[in-house]
């Protein structure tokens, strides 16, 4: 069968590549065409466009790049119509992907499957109308989403397990050389994970570095470089500091880190699954206003996946009006040693338990192919 996949960022590239591998295991004649990254390309098929050409976030960047975004969307629609796949599989990235789903449904091209469902439980809940109308099958990787979609909105979904948990388990079973080379000190590591997009890095990294430097006498400060960001982009933030940059070694870094400062997103869950105590940091424009709006508009109590899955505060979240150098320093100090650190590590065990033991990409691929074969 012919599978068209769309992933708009680094995490989507990773999850989509694993799904492609599983689809090949269940369908020997699988053909792929996709918007995605290097990991998807390694699984075979034709990459139409790299996700780095799609990834814009925030009102101003999106507005400035609107002609490019609209052009990419038009090209994607035309490419799908021309290739006539058996299914389009959308991977997160709802602003772009839900528009594609709408087009496919309007033109009756093929079924639409959504792998890694849009996080409409946090905001933009009105998108449930689009999902019900345009998405044939929704595949969730977060256990709490089942109640949200099925009980609240009466829209059946498939919880297939969590691919991040699968990826961490697989990595920890593999053997990998130490991150530290001969020029490294023996100090324990504080890891900095500042996001995968330029805007996130620009907003969060400078304050994260200033806060972490309070502890640089006793700790090595190491920044995880995002796959889609050139090393040159990080240089202006690192000049004059002792912060080390490592690229394409995030799991290796987390496996050796003592604590971490993490920008909200999938990285918070990865950090928890590696058993690294963390402080979640996310700066926003107009922090006082955003802090007030968060309480009024957001439908959930937390922004980090760790706390959402546990349904309680396991990790401290410093977002909008609580994001400051002083607050980051204080919370980081609490988890370097002592009761707060131990309490957080115990909370991580609850997260593992709630995620379950299903192997997400294999489970999703099996269900997808069963559904598609019944339609033929």
The pLDDT, as a whole number, for residue 348 is: 97
The pLDDT, as a whole number, for residue 302 is: 87
**pTM > 0.85: yes or no:** no
- The CA angle 275-327-340, to the nearest 5 degrees, is 35
Which of helix, strand or coil describes residue 219? Answer: coil
Q: 264 or 80: whose pLDDT is higher?
A: 80
Answer yes or no: is pLDDT of 117 > 80: yes
Which residues make beta-bridge pairs with 279?
A: 261, 316
| pLDDT classification of 40: cutoffs 50, 70, 90 | very high
Distances (CA, A) of 41 to 21, 25, 357: 11, 17, 28
Tokens of 296: 């009024």
Enumerate domains of the chain plus CATH numbers. 2-161+358-375 (3.40.50.2000), 178-355 (3.40.50.2000)
Residue pLDDT, tens place only, 307-344 = 999 999 999 999 878 899 999 999 999 999 999 999 99
The pLDDT, as a whole number, for residue 59 is: 47
CA pair distance 75, 221, nearest whole angstrom: 43
| pLDDT classification of 227: cutoffs 50, 70, 90 | confident
Which of helix, strand or coil describes residue 194? Answer: coil
How many CA atoms lie within 13 Å of 139's alpha carbon, on the beta-carbon side?
A: 27
The pLDDT, as a whole number, for residue 84 is: 97
Which residues make beta-bridge pairs with 220?
A: 189
Q: Give the rounded distance of the alpha carbon of 339 from its chain centre.
A: 29
Asked if 8 and 93 touch (Cβ cutoff 8 Å), the reply is: yes
Answer yes or no: is pLDDT of 64 > 90: no
| pLDDT classification of 35: cutoffs 50, 70, 90 | very high
Please give the span between the terminal C-alpha atoms of the chain, in angstroms, as a whole number.
Answer: 11
């Amino acid at each position: 069968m012919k599978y068209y996949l769309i992933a708009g960022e680094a995490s989507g590239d990773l999850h989509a590549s694993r799904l492609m591998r599983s689809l090949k295991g269940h369908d020997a004649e699988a053909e792929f065409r996709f918007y995605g990254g290097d990991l998807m390309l390694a699984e075979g098929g034709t990459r139409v466009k790299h996700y780095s050409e799609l990834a814009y976030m925030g009102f101003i960047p999106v507005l400035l790049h609107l002609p490019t975004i609209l052009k990419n969307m038009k090209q994607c629609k035309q490419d799908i119509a021309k290739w006539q796949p058996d299914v389009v599989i959308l991977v997160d990235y709802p602003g772009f992907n839900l528009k594609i789903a709408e087009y496919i449904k309007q033109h009756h091209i093929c079924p639409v499957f959504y792998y890694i469902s849009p996080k409409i439980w946090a905001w933009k809940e009105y998108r449930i109308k689009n999902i019900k109308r345009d998405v044939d099958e929704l595949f969730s990787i977060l256990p709490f989403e089942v109640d949200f979609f099925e009980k609240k909105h009466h829209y059946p979904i498939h919880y297939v397990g969590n691919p991040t948990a699968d990826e961490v388990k697989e990595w920890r079973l593999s053997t990998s050389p130490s991150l530290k080379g001969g020029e490294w000190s023996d100090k324990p590591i504080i890891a900095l994970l500042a996001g995968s997009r330029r805007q996130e890095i620009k907003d969060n990294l400078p304050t994260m570095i200033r806060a972490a430097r309070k502890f640089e006498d006793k700790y090595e400060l190491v920044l995880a470089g995002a796959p889609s960001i050139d090393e040159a982009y990080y240089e202006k933030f690192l000049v004059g500091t002792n912060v080390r940059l490592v690229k394409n070694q995030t799991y290796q870094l987390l496996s050796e880190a003592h604590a971490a400062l993490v920008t909200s997103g999938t990285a918070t869950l990865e950090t928890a699954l590696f058993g690294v105590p963390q402080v979640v940091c996310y700066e926003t424009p107009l922090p006082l206003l955003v802090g007030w709006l968060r309480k009024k508009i957001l439908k959930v109590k937390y922004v980090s996946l760790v706390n959402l899955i546990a349904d309680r505060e396991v990790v401290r979240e410093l977002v909008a009006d609580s994001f400051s150098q002083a607050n980051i320093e204080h919370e980081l100090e609490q988890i370097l040693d002592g009761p707060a650190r131990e309490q957080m590590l115990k909370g991580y065990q609850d997260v593992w338990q709630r995620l379950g033991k299903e192997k997400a990409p294999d489970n999703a691929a099996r269900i997808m192919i069963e559904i598609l074969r019944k339609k033929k």
